[in-house]
Structure 1
Amino acid sequence: MSKKIYEALKWASSFLEKKNRDQNAGELLLRHFSGMSRTMLYANMRDELDPAILEQFEKAVHEHVEGMPIQYIIGSEEFYGRTFMVNESVLIPRPETEELVLGILQRIKRETPLDVIDVGTGSGAIAVSLKLENPVLQVTATDISADSLNTAKENAKQLGAEIEFCQGDLLKPMIEQKRKFDVVVSNPPYIPLIDKMWMSEVVTEHEPHRALFAGEDGLDFYRRFMEELPLVAKAQALIGFEIGAGQGVRVAELLQNTFPCAKVEIVNDINGKDRMVFAAL
């Protein structure tokens, strides 16, 4: 049975609302499968949808209702003004992480060719964005997952960012290679395990748990970093972490205890929540 564009959107909106999903998901999915911009979609509301597109669209709406994130269905997410490929091997980049990238860029001298490492790169969003925003940076990106690295490599290739990739657990590959860095940045897993109980299945059933959860209090990876950072950070390095809301003081204390002379600052995100911790050694 054929449908006009407005009929398909009306059905999706009603169905999504009934299932407690964002009603706007219908528009995003239909734009993806039809290849139309928002303006074009609304200008052609009374046009008949191609049956093949309608079938894809309705299937995708049902998949989203059952918990599949829209970004995985579409296969991409916007980050720092660019489109990054995403899949179930990587965490979907969040707007809060854009603020971490901005915070790093604001704290370094643009014309200086610094050595930067993005630890646990996932989709490569941080590493690629830093490189493209400040091309003189020498950026290395690591991840423990080969699948994640493959996704990051593809994003770097598609977006034209020259980055060195290395598979390994946190900073261990760099320690083995005796390499030192001017900037260490990471958005590590920081969600306490208990939070899984109330989180949406859109997240817990589809996004990789290794990129989400970090022990009973969510601080496991920051503690591990404190053991490894002194072995890879240069004497005047900058360290930047994304953190979970409410973790700022504890992560700042970990950094201050590890680097007693460092200037450590907790920075809130646009919503007023503590979201980043920076340490200037």
Structure 2
Amino acid sequence: MKMFKKVLALTLACAMLFTLGGCKKKSPEEVLKAAAAKMNKMDSADMDGTIKMKMSSASNNSSSFELQMGMKVKATGMTAKDMKMDMDITTAIAGQDVSVKAYYTDGYYYMNANGQKTKQKMDVDAMQKQLENSTGQFNTSVENYKDLKMSKKDGNYVISFKFNEKALNDYVNKMMGQLNSSGAAGSTTNYADQVKFDSMSGTMTVNKDSEIVAQKINMVVSSKQEPKLSIKMSANFKYNNPGKEVKVTLPSDLNTYKEAPAATTGTTAE
């Protein structure tokens, strides 16, 4: 079960790797360079998406299960001290639906999981770092992509790509180190030693203003440790009104949420 939780969290982290990106014009390389510049200036986001995942045992073909996740995320002030976030996540697994609503405002991270309401003190820098990771704001250097191809459809650019496995593993170690359940800073766990990324590819659909409007990702992951697991995942993301003002809606009963121990994020050294 511990191995399953690690592989599941790892795979979802990889999916979120690509949730926000941008493209522009001419060659795919030029598009990606423009994307990085625009992403660094991103202050707000409004996106929704779905993730479908099938995990099976390499030693027992009859042992498998499927997971489906839907998410909606809105955030403002991502580069400021007054950041606000509103996030809905619905997960269907093993015949059960789990609904989680999360918020961030005024230095607190609030979570409502099927009616259980808690809050944690979290400084804005830590929350911004966490949000940056979950929305894919990391080093998307052109050198990390391969087999880039670009076409145009309905006035938008459509770029297909594959991602460099080493760059992906480096990202995963950083991401999972921060999400380590112990919350210990500077975790030395090497998650690349636990899983193998057999393939990862996708497409980006981008408008004329270098703003992403849709994205698809396909990924195959297998574990290196027992029990041997294989994961096939597909993800679809949609970006609503890119470049427009985003409004975050917070519930009126945040003062009733029960306080939990302050959150610690295991950030690793840059």
Same fold, TM exceeding 0.5?
A: no
Per residue, is there more strand in 1 or in 2? 2
Q: Higher helix share goes to which structure?
A: 1
TM-score, length basis structure 2 = 0.26
Q: Which has the higher relative contact order, 1 or 2, with Cα contacts under 8 A spaced 6 or more apart?
A: 2
Q: Compute the TM-score of the two structures, normalised by the length of structure 1.
A: 0.25
